Amino acid sequence: MRILGLETSCDETGVAIYDDEKGLMAHQLYSQVKLHADYGGVVPELASRDHIRKTIPLIEACLKQAKCTKDDIDGIAFTSGPGLIGALLVGSTTARGLAYAWQKPVIGVHHMEGHLLAPMLEEKVPEFPFIALLVSGGHSLLVEVKGIGQYQILGESIDDAIGEAFDKTAKIMGLDYPGGPRLAKLAEQGTAGRYKFPRPMTDRPGFDFSFSGLKTFAANTLRDSDQSEQTKADIAYAFQEAAVATLIIKAKRALKHTGLKRLVIAGGVSANQHLREEVGKLMESLRGEIFYPRLEFCTDNGAMIAYAGLQRLKAGQINTNLDVKPRWPITELDAV
């Protein structure tokens, strides 16, 4: 089975073709970073208009890259949520229009399930069950995964997602958009130990996260500092260290609580090098296994949507989840 996947949930237009025997055949991605940079964040209306301009050309490029025609495609998958409603509608209407014209089955895919399954695109893939740490600009989730569609949320952020906290803290520090990666880069120049930031909600039981207070702590530290570039680097270092340490503490709790030895990290923040290093140390100490997608599949992309859609289409879930859902709990998905 060969699936065309479309991702248009936010500020990246992703298109891919995935074959269940040949693997990933084509992958095209267009980032809107430059478009939104002047505004310091994503402007939903501009994002939607840019998806309209880019989606069809990227589909054509993917077909050419895979040396396919519409007749070689067996189904179409698109991101139906969660995300920006205007952006989601672009992917939905494009996918449904093509499915009608080409007479192909179509399915809407949960954006975070796409991220959760992104490590399946690699040569070494995790076996079920495992714990998934899903960290992005919109989500911070700890999920016990027993199979595709069999998800139990153990913990989530009660306020800002970790990627959102990175971006907001970067903006406070005067860094350009996108802030998260720039803050991580600045942290590389920071001095260890100069500042000690709190590890939010780690002094109480449970798996939930809170990063809003950490952002405020960084803002107050910056306000009371000398505002030098080295000081900003030191604050960035302390912020990143505390945020990552919080994730590690909660992930360790989840692994011990469930008795599982496999951990998946995915989502845009999973590209953070410090996080990868610390998770690696954690799993080595627990004698467990860590899985994550390659860097190009950490951010939003069509490959993960094509793969997730293929699994559900193969299971007979055809023409489902066609309505876009800006908010959509991952626990509402049907099992495969």
Q: What is the pLDDT of residues 237-282, one digit of tens each?
A: 999 999 999 999 999 999 999 999 999 999 999 999 999 999 999 9
Q: Is 5 annotated as a binding residue?
A: no
Token duo for residue 64: 């050419």
Statement to judge: residues 132 and 275 lie in one domain: yes
Within 10 A of 21 (CB to CB), how many other CB atoms are there?
6
Q: Is 134 annotated as a binding residue?
A: yes
Nearest by Cα to 222 from 188, 181, 246, 186: 186
pLDDT per position as a tens digit, 66-85: 999 999 999 999 999 999 99
Residues 178/33, Cβ–Cβ less than 8 Å: yes
- Kindly give the parts of the chain with pLDDT less than 70: none
- Indicate whether 166 belongs to any domain: yes
Statement to judge: residues 146 and 34 lie in one domain: no
Statement to judge: residues 302 and 159 lie in one domain: no
Q: How many angstroms separate the CA atoms of 68 and 64, rounded?
A: 6
Q: How many angstroms separate the CA atoms of 152 and 66, rounded?
A: 37
Structural domain range at position 57: 2-117+297-332
> What local confidence, expressed as pLDDT, does residue 131 receive?
98
Statement to judge: residues 176 and 144 lie in one domain: yes
Statement to judge: residues 140 and 253 lie in one domain: yes
How far from 165 is each of 138, 254, 271, 306, CA to CA, in Å? 10, 22, 16, 29
- Indicate whether 73 belongs to any domain: yes
> What local confidence, expressed as pLDDT, does residue 136 receive?
95
Statement to judge: residues 83 and 223 lie in one domain: no
**Half-sphere exposure for 103 (CA within 13 Å, toward CB):** 1
- Indicate whether 97 belongs to any domain: yes
> What local confidence, expressed as pLDDT, does residue 68 receive?
96
Statement to judge: residues 154 and 234 lie in one domain: yes
Q: Is 115 annotated as a binding residue?
A: yes
Q: Is 136 annotated as a binding residue?
A: yes
Report the domain count for the chain: 2
Q: Is 149 annotated as a binding residue?
A: no
Q: Is 23 annotated as a binding residue?
A: no
> What local confidence, expressed as pLDDT, does residue 189 receive?
97
Statement to judge: residues 173 and 217 lie in one domain: yes
Statement to judge: residues 111 and 242 lie in one domain: no
Q: Is 224 annotated as a binding residue?
A: no
Q: Is 135 annotated as a binding residue?
A: yes
Assign residue 179 the CATH number of its domain: 3.30.420.40
- Indicate whether 175 belongs to any domain: yes
Token duo for residue 214: 């950490």
Statement to judge: residues 97 and 172 lie in one domain: no
What per-residue string of b and e applies to 273-307 under the rule 16 or more CB within 10 Å gives b? ebbbebbeebbeebeebbbbbeeebbbbbbbbbbb
- Indicate whether 54 belongs to any domain: yes
62 exposure class (CB count in 10 Å sphere: 0-12, 13-18, 19+) = buried
- Indicate whether 70 belongs to any domain: yes
- Indicate whether 123 belongs to any domain: no
- Indicate whether 136 belongs to any domain: yes
Q: Is 180 annotated as a binding residue?
A: yes
